Structure 1
Amino acid sequence: MSAGSDLTLALLEAIHAQAFDGPTTGRAWSQADFAALVGQPGVFVLGDARGFILIRVVADEAEILTLAVRPEARRLGLGRSLIQAAAAMAAGLGASCLLLEVAQDNLAARALYDRTGFQAAGRRPRYYARAEGPAIDALILVLNLDPTLP
């Protein structure tokens, strides 16, 4: 793992489980899931024991793979700080945009992404399976990192 060296696979799994613990939030990721990702080129983890962001930078695009904040650390600005740090890192590595997918019904996350400047770019119908109820659409959001573009 790159930045956030105190973030072990076990800690990533624990934080993710707390952040995605309900029947309508999808499946929390395991240590094996994280291990498969963090070993890949261009994948970075930023954060601490309260929360983290996992991003992948490829060529001129970056993607937020997941963002997880422990419930007791929410609404304190950590999510915004993690996004800003990830955007700065991605831009420094040559990315011109930061992409992500968010469940249409995840209103808290959508509000955070709206406040940090993300714009709608598309939709994946029935992308997120749910343990209870029908699958939910994913909204594809993008944040422009190129200061020369409007």
Structure 2
Amino acid sequence: MNTVLKPEASLRPMQAADLDAVSRIEPTIFPYPWTRGNFNDSLNSGHSCWVYECEGELLGYAVMMLVLDEAHLLNISIAAPWQGKGYGRTLLAHMMDTGRQHGALNMFLEVRPSNQAALSLYESMGFNEMAIRRGYYPAPDGREDAVLMGAAL
């Protein structure tokens, strides 16, 4: 029997050379995407920035700010063709582990209440709703609230 091995996806720190690929994905999955400059600023600020790739193709990326004993997940994204396949869960678990390894006791994030897939993922990974941030996100009809979520690491 001939077995074809499935290529393995891997995580690695984001580099400036990744910004073009990240910037191509971001507007395809978000109506109000981060800019290349936002990602560049995160890299320059020393945020924990990661890419998830398979055979040179970018599947997703994440950006986390670490301050004292807290981790704030600023962006976590999986390219549209790869969504719903468990990559987001793996990337989130990696970011939680990274936060823990850097001494964070808790992780926080904001998510649109309209993003049911993300809310379900976060809840399944131990995040709980902590508060609502009114008018946090831009939206076609003005502003959309954010659900502030947190999890103990």
TM-score grouping bracket, smaller chain normalisation: 0.7 to 0.9
Kindly name which structure, 1 or 2, has the bigger radius of gyration based on alpha carbons.
Answer: 2
User: Which amino acid in 1 is paired with 2:37?
Assistant: A
CA contact (8 A) 2:49 2:61 kept: no
- Deviation at residue 7 of structure 1 after TM alignment: 6.2
Distance 1:80 1:7 in 2: 25
Encode CA deviations 1:55-87: one digit per residue, 9 max, x unaligned. Answer: 111110001111111111011111000110000
**What value does the CA root-mean-square deviation take over the aligned residues?**
1.7
User: Which amino acid in 2 is paired with 1:32?
Assistant: G
CA contact (8 A) 1:55 1:63 kept: yes
- Deviation at residue 4 of structure 1 after TM alignment: 4.2
User: Which amino acid in 1 is paired with 2:48?
Assistant: V
Consecutive unaligned residues in structure 2, runs of 5 or more:
1-11
User: Which amino acid in 2 is paired with 1:56?
Assistant: M
Q: Secondary structure at the match of 2:21?
A: helix
Bigger RCO (CA 8 Å, 6+ sep): 1
2:54 paired with 1:45: no
Counterpart for residue 80 of structure 2 = 71
Consecutive unaligned residues in structure 1, runs of 5 or more:
146-150
- Deviation at residue 6 of structure 1 after TM alignment: 8.6
- Deviation at residue 117 of structure 1 after TM alignment: 1.1
Q: How many residues align?
A: 138
Distance 1:5 1:76 in 2: 25
Counterpart for residue 91 of structure 1 = 100
TM-score by length of 1: 0.85
User: Which amino acid in 1 is paired with 2:147?
Assistant: L
CA contact (8 A) 2:111 2:119 kept: yes
Distance 1:139 1:89 in 2: 23
Q: 1:35 aligns with which of 27, 40, 51?
A: 40
- Deviation at residue 45 of structure 1 after TM alignment: 2.2
Counterpart for residue 115 of structure 2 = 106
